[in-house]
Structures are given as C-alpha cells and as structure tokens.
C-alpha cells in the first residue's frame, strides 16, 4: 500500500524527484524501473465486473519485467516497463474477448520515460491522450500519441510543405510572411472543417516541438517562466482563439531567435548539408534539394548561399572533389572513370572540379599519390 501511495504521489507531482530518489531503494524500485510508461484505463463498468477486468489485466501484465497496477477515481492506472507493448495489447484483447464489444474500454498509453522518477511526464501524456480521445471520436481501444497525431493529420489541412515554410519564416524573423502563412492555414481549415480548431491546435503543438528540436531545444527550456504560453495552445477551442494565441507563441520564438538564443536558419541549413552528403554520389540538382526540404528552389538557393557562402552547385562540386580525393588515396589504382561514377559525375566534370579546387588534374593527383605510397 505504501509503495502505491509513493508511486501515485510521484506520478501526480506531489513528490519531487529529489525527495523520491532516496525512497527508491527503500521500496526496492531503484533497479526495476528503467524505461517505464504510465497507462490510464477508463471503462463503463463497476462492481464485480470491474475487479474481474483488473484480474485479467494483471495476469497478462505479469509477462512484463515490471508493473504496478493501481485504481484511481476514474479507472485503472498502470506503471509498467516500456518495452512490453505485446503484453499491453494482450491484456486489452483478453478483456475484449471475455466481455465482447459491448464493453467500452479506453486505454491511453503515455510516452515512455527513462526512469520511474520521470513518471509524472508519462502520466501527463496519458492524460492528454484521454482528453483528445473524444475529439477524434474514440471511446474504445488503445491510444498512443502516435495514434492521436495520425488522426490529427487526417482531420486537418496542414501539409508538410506549409509547416516547413512556417517554421522557416518564424525562425528567420519574417513577421509578415509567417503571419500570412498562418492566416492561410487557419482559413483553409475553417473552410474544410469548422469544428476542428482543437485538432489543428494539436498539429501546431507538434510544429513547435519540431521547430525547437532542430537545434536541440525543447519548449520547457525555451519558454522557461512563460511555459503556460506553450501549454495553453491545446486550450484553444475556436480558430479565432487559436490564431490569436499561436501568434503570441511565434512572436515569442521569433524574439528568442533574434536574441541569438537560437541559431538562425540552422535547422534548414543542417537539413541541406545532410541531404548533400547522403546523395552527392547521385545525379542531384537544386530541385531535388528543394523537394527534400519542401521549399521552393529560389528560396532554397537564397538560404543556401547565405548559410554556406557559396551556391548549391559549387558546394556540391566541392563535396565531390573531397570524396574523389579520398577515394584515390584509399585506392590509387582505381580507374578515374570509376572514381567519377562513385562521386556522381563523369570524367569531364571530375577534371574540371579537380582543376578548380585543387589546381591539378585528377590523373596527376593520382600519380602523386601512387609515388607517395610507393
């Protein structure tokens, strides 16, 4: 009983992580609770049937290395090992098999956390899922954050290209541009589904996460004392309210970025760099890069030159030159035609880029390597 009270207090935030740290050993939980998650189960039954359901779930969850099952005022709360998805689904299936489709059983699986000390975060995510379930028309089944996100994507008109343009405009401090993009997104969704403002709010929450994650930040670290500004996005129930509130959120991020707390354009520049190094051996052009980052070629070209100090073509050729030099050093006897092919070009282009970036013909460079290694 005392262990359950301890876990419940930790989960609800009534016990701090620091205070809980010394008690893990007392309850013999310090070596049992790595990578855990909180699940919340809501059902429309009571009395003996409720206890039969609890027994079925407990029997199935015994397959997990670790689990604790507790009743709360609205249903069941489970803390279990995060890697036991099969046991969770088995438990759900066993209950449904026993009592049929007439039983409404909603099982919200929170995000996994690295330690039992963090179960408050998993508990909050499970509560969030329960809150969103009626909005997506789900009263029966297992739900995760991934399920919520998929449903949101299907219910709202918010293509990835629109999100990428919005992210870049906000982090670049282009106030008029991102406000125009935001208005277009709001209006399109209002026309498509006048009652889906809450779902669009969920999509914007994920946008903020992606916006900040590109440079290793999260809403908690960026918003700090203003964290309620981020948290209240999900409270917006109309498009008008959502537009007004998300504007405040984006203005805050823009001001944070302009104070050099966040590197300008770093998220997009890193995407471009990764694309080139993964694809330089193929026949790629600016259009391929623009498709990869979901932005227009002209826009990508301007951002690329501003970020790298040279054009896309020049950077790509430099990358191929460096790759060719490495290939020749590693295999001096390899034919230059094969080297060129591996670097995404032909021998004529290879000759031009060697002369431009190295001031030497590739054949002369090859001979020099052979002599140095001979």
CATH label of the domain that carries residue 326: 1.10.10.60
Same domain for 278 and 367, yes or no, is: yes
Backbone angles phi, psi at 113, to 5 degrees: -130, 155
Q: Determine the pLDDT at residue 50.
A: 75
Q: Examine the fold and report which residue of 207, 237, 258 is the final residue of a domain before the chain moves on.
A: 258
Same domain for 228 and 179, yes or no, is: yes
Same domain for 351 and 306, yes or no, is: yes
How many Cβ atoms sit within 10 Å of the Cβ of residue 250?
23
Q: Examine the fold and report which residue of 127, 153, 179 is the final residue of a domain before the chain moves on.
A: 153
Q: Indicate the pairing of strand 67-72 with strand 34-43.
A: unpaired
Same domain for 222 and 241, yes or no, is: yes
Closest Cα to residue 269, out of 239, 295, 234?
295
- CATH code of the domain containing 81: 3.30.70.270
Same domain for 283 and 307, yes or no, is: yes
CB 119 within 8 A of CB 159: no
Q: Determine the pLDDT at residue 346.
A: 92
Q: Examine the fold and report which residue of 130, 153, 176 is the final residue of a domain before the chain moves on.
A: 153
Closest Cα to residue 35, out of 83, 78, 69, 93?
83
Same domain for 174 and 149, yes or no, is: no
Same domain for 207 and 100, yes or no, is: no
CA 276/CA 319 separation, integer angstroms: 8
Q: Determine the pLDDT at residue 340.
A: 93
State how many domains the chain has: 3
Same domain for 324 and 369, yes or no, is: yes
Alpha helices, DSSP H, located in the chain: 2-11, 17-21, 48-61, 85-99, 119-132, 145-155, 160-171, 175-192, 197-213, 219-223, 227-231, 239-258, 266-279, 286-293, 297-308, 312-330, 336-342, 347-358, 362-373
DSSP 275-340: HHHHHTTS---HHHHHHHHTS-HHHHHHHHHHHHSS-HHHHHHHHHHHHHHHHHHH-TTS-HHHHH
Same domain for 145 and 43, yes or no, is: yes
CA 251/CA 226 separation, integer angstroms: 13
Closest Cα to residue 109, out of 139, 136, 89?
89
What is the DSSP code (8-state) at residue 14? S
CB 223 within 8 A of CB 252: yes
Same domain for 15 and 144, yes or no, is: yes
CA 123/CA 184 separation, integer angstroms: 35
Same domain for 169 and 227, yes or no, is: yes
Full residue range of the structural domain in which residue 48 is found: 2-153
CB 164 within 8 A of CB 185: no
Same domain for 134 and 197, yes or no, is: no
Mean pLDDT by 10 residues, the chain (374 residues): 75 75 67 73 73 81 78 77 74 76 76 80 81 67 72 75 82 85 92 84 86 73 85 88 94 74 64 90 90 79 84 92 92 92 92 91 90 78
Q: Indicate the pairing of strand 105-109 with strand 141-143.
A: parallel
């Amino acid at each position: 009983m005392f262990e359950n009270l301890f876990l419940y207090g930790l989960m609800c935030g009534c016990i701090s992580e620091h205070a809980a740290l010394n008690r893990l050993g007392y309850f013999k939980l310090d070596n049992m609770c790595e990578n855990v998650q909180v699940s919340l189960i809501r059902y429309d039954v009571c009395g003996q049937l409720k206890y039969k359901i609890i027994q079925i779930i407990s029997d199935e969850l015994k397959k997990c290395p670790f689990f604790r099952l507790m009743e709360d005022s609205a249903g069941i709360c489970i803390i279990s090992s995060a890697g036991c998805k099969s046991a969770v689904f088995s438990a759900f299936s066993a209950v449904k098999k026993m009592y049929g489709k007439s039983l409404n059983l909603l099982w919200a699986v929170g995000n996994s956390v690295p330690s039992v000390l963090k179960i408050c975060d998993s508990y909050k995510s499970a509560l969030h899922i329960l809150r969103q379930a009626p909005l997506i028309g789900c009263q029966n089944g297992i739900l995760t954050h991934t399920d919520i996100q998929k449903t949101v994507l299907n219910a709202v008109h918010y293509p990835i290209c629109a999100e990428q343009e919005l992210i870049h405009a906000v982090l670049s401090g282009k106030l008029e541009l991102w406000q125009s993009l935001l208005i277009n997104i709001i209006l399109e969704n209002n026309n498509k589904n006048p009652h889906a403002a809450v779902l669009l709010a969920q999509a914007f929450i994920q946008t903020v996460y992606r916006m900040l994650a590109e440079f290793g930040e999260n809403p908690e670290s960026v918003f700090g004392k203003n964290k309620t500004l981020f948290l209240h996005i999900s409270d917006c129930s109309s498009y008008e309210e959502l537009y007004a509130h998300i504007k405040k959120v984006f203005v805050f991020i823009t001001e944070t970025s302009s104070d050099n707390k966040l590197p300008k354009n770093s998220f997009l520049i890193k995407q471009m760099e990764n694309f080139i190094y993964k694809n330089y051996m193929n026949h790629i052009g600016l259009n391929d890069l623009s498709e990869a980052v979901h932005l227009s070629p002209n826009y990508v070209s301007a951002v690329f030159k501003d970020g790298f100090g040279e054009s896309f073509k020049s950077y790509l050729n430099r990358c191929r030159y460096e790759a060719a030099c490495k290939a020749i050093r590693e295999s001096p006897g390899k034919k230059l035609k094969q080297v060129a092919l591996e670097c995404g070009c032909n021998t004529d282009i290879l000759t031009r880029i060697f002369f431009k970036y190295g001031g030497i013909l590739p054949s002369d460079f090859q001979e020099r390597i052979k002599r140095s290694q001979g």
